[in-house]
Structure 1
Amino acid sequence: MRASASNRQERRIHVSIASYNVHSCVGMDRRRKPARIAQVIREMNVDVLALQEVDNQPGDDVESMQLEYLSDVLEMAAVPGLRMIRRTGEYGNAILTRFPILAVRRHDLSFPLCEPRGAIDVHLDVYGRTVRVIAAHLGLRRRERRFQWQRVLEAVASEKDIPTCVLGDMNEWYRGAQTLKEAHAVFGEPPAPPAFPSFLPLLALTRIWVRPPEAIVAIEAHRSSLAKVASDHLPVRATIDVRRLGGVENVKRGAGLWALGSGQKEQRR
């Protein structure tokens, strides 16, 4: 009983948040296995997870309805991003969370003549404290990323007093890139472990920033043998000390929900 109480107390002090580009649940062996992705997520035991490249294809099986499947088997609430449509069906970003969802906003980051992109912006009730999470997947071209990052910074600046985490696949290959300089000016420069490609990680494309930065306890890539095969990216996980977040406590659930947009609703449990 004492150990159980101690574990519960630890969970209330430290929360974990991660970002994972699941590559449509297609692994390095070219097999599409959502169950394998779910097992990698279980290994991390995270409270909040930003997903990129989650497919929502026509059909009613596990392989096509990936977000619904992951939400169900992991028992986490799912917040889908804006509906992005390509020839093979719908795909995009999502957030999975164990915490109550207070508010949701979706930002269209699409750049002319480029693949559609978006960011998900949520308020979560983290043990009685409002925490903002913005999950994004930026584009492949430098001008595109600059445009998209400016939109993200504008969103961040709109609520300066709320503890905020920005995370996702930033697709930024160059350490000296302007987008990273601007991010570090706002959030500080946390660790950025290489996580791509998964079998021999050399590039830190996946990033996690937290404001205030002193709330970060650790950031690391999840390098299990299964994670090295399940996707072309490794997931990146951060541990955050809730006591260092500051912000407003004793929030009221459901207060001031933003417009959901795109005809979608977050799934709650």
Structure 2
Amino acid sequence: MAAKPKPPASTRPLRLLSANIQAGSSTRAYREYVTRSWSHVLPNGKRLNLDSLAALAEPFDLVGLQESDPGSLRSGFTNQADYLAERGGFPYWSHQPNRRISRIAGSGNALLSRLEPKELLDYALPGRIAGRGVLLARFGEGDTAWDLAVTHLSLGAKSRQLQLGFLADLLSESPRLVLMGDFNCDFDAPEMRALYRETKLEPPAERIATFPSWAPQRCLDHVLVGGLKINHYQAIPAAGSDHMAVAVELQVPTAKPVT
């Protein structure tokens, strides 16, 4: 007698958001990179933007942040990930500081989560200039295990190629995973090929422009998924940041109830 096929694993929907928050600054035109250059060193106006970001993040289960300030002059010495976690009601959060300019400015990746991670790891990424990293969270166990990584890649293609090679090696053994962040390149850029070749990750089904936020033309911010079903994928404004955020709903595996 042939063995009965195993029933399909149960899943549940989770809402994920990836956002480059520009350290809480607001930019609505190219000229404001000059006229509002003071916002890169002073905290004025950032609390209002952070409150808007917290309201944006609140409906989501997991939020990956890039350019989150860990506490410097420009953020009013506030750890922005901590502030957003508290305001958005996230019980778990982690911040990976990657770059600091004295006490004037700092930047890094962060994760806000309503799920308790089984493990949190952070890695520095290779590159011609130091200051980039990836924050890796692991959820579930056994058949329900899956990984979520948050990153922000370099501006230069040669550095991105090194960084993507590192990420491809790091994530190569994960059967179910998500890699989100500001990649500073399109999802079909030549340097992205190693990532698709060596991991389960696949490019998004459609090109969604995210930069600049006031007139999106370039596809720089992505949520790449492997081994999980995507229900929805869209770009949404991120409270004045020069990047649009990317919102995704996924089906992730859940533990079977004990009988």
Same fold at TM > 0.5? yes
Distance 1:146 1:79, change over 3 A: same
- Letter of the structure 1 residue corresponding to residue 244 of structure 2: L
Percent identity over paired residues:
20
Q: Give yes or no for the alignment of 1:42 onto 2:52.
A: no
The 8 Å contact of residues 120 and 136 in structure 1, kept in 2 or not, is answered as yes
Distance 1:189 1:140, change over 3 A: same
Post-superposition offset of 1:62: 5.7
Count of paired positions:
225
Aligned to 1:92: 108
Q: How does 1:1-269 map to 2 (within 5 A)?
A: 13-28=12-27, 30=36, 32-43=45-56, 45-58=59-72, 64-76=78-90, 77-87=92-102, 88-112=104-128, 114-125=129-140, 129-157=144-172, 159-161=173-175, 163-173=176-186, 176-185=188-197, 186-190=200-204, 191-212=206-227, 215-223=229-237, 227=238, 230-242=240-252, 245=253, 249=255
CA distance in 2, matches of 1:36, 1:58: 17
The 8 Å contact of residues 165 and 194 in structure 2, kept in 1 or not, is answered as no
Post-superposition offset of 1:18: 1.4
Distance 1:59 1:72, change over 3 A: farther
- Letter of the structure 2 residue corresponding to residue 170 of structure 1: F
SS at match of 2:162: helix
- In structure 2, stretches of 5+ residues that fail to align are 1-10, 29-35, 37-43
CA distance in 1, matches of 2:46, 2:72: 17
Post-superposition offset of 1:79: 1.0
- Letter of the structure 2 residue corresponding to residue 25 of structure 1: G
- Letter of the structure 2 residue corresponding to residue 49 of structure 1: V
Post-superposition offset of 1:217: 1.2
CA distance in 1, matches of 2:234, 2:140: 24
The C-alpha deviation readout for 1:246-268, integer Å capped at 9, x for no partner, is xx846xxxxxxxxxxxxxxxxxx
Q: Which runs of 4+ in 1 moved over 6 A?
A: none
Post-superposition offset of 1:59: 6.4
The C-alpha deviation readout for 1:146-174, integer Å capped at 9, x for no partner, is 000111111101x333x21011000015x
Aligned to 2:8: none
CA distance in 2, matches of 1:150, 1:168: 16
TM-score (norm 2): 0.77
The 8 Å contact of residues 19 and 243 in structure 2, kept in 1 or not, is answered as yes
- Letter of the structure 1 residue corresponding to residue 22 of structure 2: H
Aligned Cα root-mean-square deviation (Å)? 2.7
Post-superposition offset of 1:212: 1.2
SS at match of 1:56: coil
Aligned to 1:5: none
Aligned to 2:3: none
Post-superposition offset of 1:179: 2.5
Larger radius of gyration: 2
- In structure 1, stretches of 5+ residues that fail to align are 1-11, 251-269
CA distance in 2, matches of 1:69, 1:217: 30
CA distance in 2, matches of 1:200, 1:194: 9
CA distance in 1, matches of 2:195, 2:74: 40
